[in-house]
A and B are shown apart, each in its own frame.
Chain A
Amino acid sequence: MYLKKIVQIIIGIMILLGKTYSQESFDLFGFASYGSKNGFRLNSFEKNAGNFSHSKNWELATIFGGEMKTGEQISNNIYLISLANKLDKHYLYSRFTPGYVKEFVIKTGSTITLEDSTNILQNSIKYEEKFGLGYAYSIAPNISAGFSLRYFENALNTEKIEFYFSDTLNTLLTSNEKQYKKYWRGDLGITYSYSDFVRFNLSTANLFIFNEDGSFSENGNLNLRTNKSVLFTADLFLSNGMSSSIGIESSGSGFLSFNVSHDLFYGVFDFGVSGYHDKFQQPFISTVMPHFNFRNELFSAGVVWVNYLQNRSGSQPLSKLSETGMHSIINNQFSADKILLNLNFALSFKQEKSVEFVEVKVLAQIYPTLSDEYLEYPFAVASVKNLTDKKVTVKPSSFIQRINSGKVYSPAVIIPAFGEAEVPFYTIIENDEIGTSSRDISQANFYLSTQSSDEEDEIQKPILIHNKNAWDGKVENLNYFVMRDYSFSSSKAKTILKEKEQVGNSEIEILSDIRTLFNSFIKNMNYVSDPRTSFEYVQFPEQTFELKGGDCDDLSVAFSSLLESIGIATAFVDYVSADKISHVSLLINIKLPPEKANLITKNDKKYFIRENSNAENEIWIPLEMTSLSDFETSWNLASEKFYREGIVELGIAKGNVRIIDIY
């Protein structure tokens, strides 16, 4: 939407402003792919007026090179020094261009002969781009727009003869007449990444010329031409390291580039070639520009050979310059071959991210007592993106304040090149001694690291931490409350059974123990509802003994703990009613085979047969904890409910009555 509107505006401006021509897309970096895998800018205003860059740091760049004119020595020069920085979504760029100079010397043919010397009058024209500033803003992850400002200074120096007359002496001297034209040039550009593999760029040339100062008066044809044009480029990045770029200017000039990248010596080696077609130069492909480049995370170094296919004569008639005009300081019909060395440095050594968070979802609140739950099930899951063209092994870790004493690492996840993956986060409850009356919002920090670096990305999310008696309402998780006070429960159970007399029949000794423990346990208990809180509250067995009461969860947990602590297997029976209100009672394994059922009861509705892992059938009996009456009454009450709702009404098969083993 944005892109379409901006393109329409730019094209509209171009049409209104009239004829457009001249090549502007030639720069001195060659085509060293500036794909997403490249952290350096590697191009200039000429191709990239919108200042698009993947650079994340301070970056210093320089171009040093030499021009090889026919019959002359190579002239060395620093062509460009630039400094850039990325600040969040803002990108700032500045360049100083001492080598962006073109100077012509025009011999007038007028000769002055003095007694001891001869001077030939000559004029000169000098075109200079002094410096430039650029800015870009990342509108969206795949859209960047910006502008560039460049300052130009053209100078025409005319040598003239001046005659000085006096009474005694006539003198003939030469003097210089200088004419300047200085101005600012502004351009706009926008870059749109359709995908990681395709990118488009649209930019202007000479869109705004302002603050003009001076003129060449009658020699206006010699001014640097500022005809307006539009440049459209398309970049294609293939996954095998090959890339291509095509640029078309509204003038009819353009370029085509190919590049191959290969991993080498802990970096990437690029080799490519570009061909330029300029309307004002011959032949049709006027310039071929091979280049090679090496880059890693800290620097980029490349060599570019600017090779003009037409022989450039050392001198040409002034009329030619006047007729065709000067359109580009660094690329014109008078330019000579060049060898250039490009160097780019990352000035801050902050490593480029290879992975980043797209989103983190906290899946669970933290109930400190349910400790193992967070080892088995993730409490959060993140969507993580691989920003590189290689598969990356991500090591996720997290830290929850008040819960963890240090980072907790979750299993590593491999993400394919440029891919996205779900990364689960698990945690360990190291501090479950959190207050008993309150819950609190804490902060969970999520980190991503890779094999090559630590903490490539970090994000913080709030998370609700409950107190240690809080329960998430899942009967399966009452296990944690049962196991909490095993040593207390074991000691308590042994104390109670110490006084018990043996029944004399080892086959029903377990039932006898259960009966003794139950009658001892229940006689001091009262039914007490949960406190009025917005979360489920479960007492630990020791708390239930201290408080001498609790609700069905508390009493079932405490008695189950007594039995489990001395090796008697128990299960919770969860009755879920239509209104979702849950009731919990117990099912207890008395380790008796069905053949011996008549040792405990004549009524087969009072027990349930379950098959153990050895394929042996065993008798389990139901027990209701809230009747607060003796063992036989509790057994009968529980049996009636269990048989009616679980068996007759098929509650077990339908899932309305769930048997949840404690282990």
Chain B
Amino acid sequence: MKKIIALCFLMIMNISAQTFTVEKVKGKVQVLKGTSEQFVDVIQGQTLTGEDVLVTDNNSFVQLKKDNTKFNLNSNSALGMNYLKQMSINDLLLVLALEEIRSLPKNIKQNNSSSTAIYGSKVSPSKNTNASIDEFGIKRINGAKQLAESGFKESAVASAKETFRKYPSANSDFNGRLFFADLLYDLKLYEEALSDYTKINELELSEEERKIISNRIEKTNLELAEKQ
């Protein structure tokens, strides 16, 4: 039933203009508009645009409406409204390519900015996690999962990829990573799925998790072998 609803949603949703009306609000729901630093409460009837980020708290819920379609964002979730759209496989592949572009060219000496002895000390990558930023990353992943469950699989992967990069704690979450790697598998992007499974396999995993990921890798390799 959920799939049918999602399919209907997909069919009728106008994805070009990213404006949504808030139909229902329950609990604490806030929006971060544009480049603002302030979260503000969402109220019923408010219009949201593609540049907004919607955040729900515990036991909270928001329902968005666009034309005759509706989308629910459940509790403890965050979603960039720009991802609430149907994305093509080609666009998803471009997003995945962007992950490679993010890296600095290898011929650049990254240490050149470490010579700021006078003006500041070198900042080492911190292992300490920050509660609020970790929480926000988890909310982003929750939002992306709901996108996927509503049929926006490609957008969900794109949203998750950005989240994993910006929120390292989300990046080390086995279940979250596995969910979106499986989405790539479902989309028959086997090489991309295999790449993700391999990276997950490099995390610190329990035996059970290791077994799961090994099975996934084996299964994906079989698919790739069949393709060839």
Contacts and interface: CB of A to CB of B under 8 A. Distances in A.
Given A604-B166, A612-B104, A644-B51, A592 B112 contact: no
Interface stretch (B58-66, B121-129, B176-184, B205-213): B121-129
Contacts of A613: 104, 106, 108-110
B101 A652 contact: yes
A514 B109 CA distance: 21
Interface stretch (B5-13, B21-29, B32-40, B185-193): B32-40
Interface in B91-144: 91, 94-95, 97-98, 101-110, 112-116, 118-123, 125-126, 128-130, 132-133, 136
Given A567-B114, A609-B102, A644-B51, A650 B95 contact: yes
Q: What is the size category of the interface that chain A forms with chain B? A: 35 or more
B165 interface: yes
B11 to A, nearest CB: 23
A613 B116 CA distance: 18
A663 B108 contact: yes
B132 A598 contact: yes
Contacts of A589: 113
A659 B101 contact: yes
B160 interface: no
B167 interface: yes
Contacts of A639: 35
Interface string A591-623: 111111110011111111111111011000000
A441 interface: no
A609 B165 contact: yes
A437 interface: no
A604 B137 CA distance: 10
Contacts of B166: 594, 597, 604, 607, 609
A603 B110 contact: no
Contacts of B119: 497, 509-510, 513, 566-567
Contacts of B102: 608-611
A602 B123 contact: no
Contacts of A653: 94-95, 97-98, 101
A603 B35 contact: yes
Which of A566, A595, A659 counts the most B-chain CB atoms under 10 A from its CB?
A595
A450 B116 CA distance: 50
Interface in B151-180: 162, 165-169
A653 B102 CA distance: 10
Given A507-B123, A596-B130, A601 B37 contact: yes
A603 B36 contact: yes
B221 interface: no
A3 to B, nearest CB: 57
A160 B2 CA distance: 139
B114 A648 contact: no
A610 B32 CA distance: 23
A506 interface: yes
Contacts of A609: 102, 165-166
B120 A509 contact: yes
Contacts of A594: 165-168
B125 A593 contact: yes
A661 B104 contact: yes
A13 to B, nearest CB: 72
B130 A595 contact: yes
A604 B39 CA distance: 12
A610 B103 contact: yes
A566 B116 contact: yes
Contacts of B136: 604
Contacts of A617: 125, 165, 168
A654 B119 CA distance: 37
B116 A567 contact: yes
B101 A640 contact: no
A156 B136 CA distance: 124
A650 B91 CA distance: 8
A644 B34 CA distance: 10
Given A659-B101, A661-B104, A602 B32 contact: yes
Instruction: Name the residue in A510, A594, A597, A659 with the highest tally of chain B Cβ atoms < 10 Å from its Cβ.
Output: A594
A598 B130 contact: yes
A647 interface: yes
A610 B102 CA distance: 5
A209 interface: no
A567 B36 contact: no
A663 B112 contact: yes
Contacts of B51: 605, 640, 643-644
Nearest to B117: A567
Given A605-B53, A613-B108, A650 B94 contact: yes
B98 A603 contact: no
A193 interface: no
B14 interface: no
Contacts of A614: 110
Contact of A663 (B37, B38, B109, B115): B109
Contacts of B123: 506-507, 510, 591-593, 596
B82 interface: yes
Interface in B68-90: 80, 82
Nearest to A494: B118
Contacts of B95: 650, 653
Contact of B35 (A497, A608, A640, A648): A640
A234 interface: no
A260 interface: no
Given A603-B35, A604-B166, A569 B112 contact: yes
B104 A611 contact: yes
Contacts of B169: 595
Nearest to B96: A653
A610 B104 contact: yes
Nearest to A654: B94
A352 to B, nearest CB: 45
Contacts of B165: 594, 609, 617
Contacts of A509: 119-121
Contacts of A83: none
Contacts of B32: 602-603
A636 interface: yes
A510 B116 contact: yes
A595 B113 contact: no
A593 B130 CA distance: 12
A609 B125 CA distance: 13
Interface in A190-216: none
A644 B109 CA distance: 29
Contacts of A607: 166
Interface in A245-301: none
16 contacts: A510-B119, A566-B116, A567-B116, A568-B113, A569-B112, A569-B113, A592-B123, A593-B125, A594-B166, A603-B37, A606-B35, A610-B102, A613-B110, A617-B168, A652-B101, A653-B97
Enumerate the 10 nearest inter-chain pairs by beta-carbon distance, A residue then B residue, closest first. A509-B120, A653-B94, A612-B110, A636-B35, A567-B115, A611-B103, A653-B98, A569-B113, A593-B125, A506-B121
Interface of A: 494, 497, 506-507, 509-510, 513, 566-569, 589, 591-598, 601-614, 616-617, 635-636, 639-640, 643-644, 647-648, 650, 652-654, 659, 661, 663
Given A595-B126, A636-B34, 9 more contacts: A494-B118, A567-B115, A591-B113, A595-B128, A596-B123, A602-B39, A617-B125, A653-B97, A661-B104
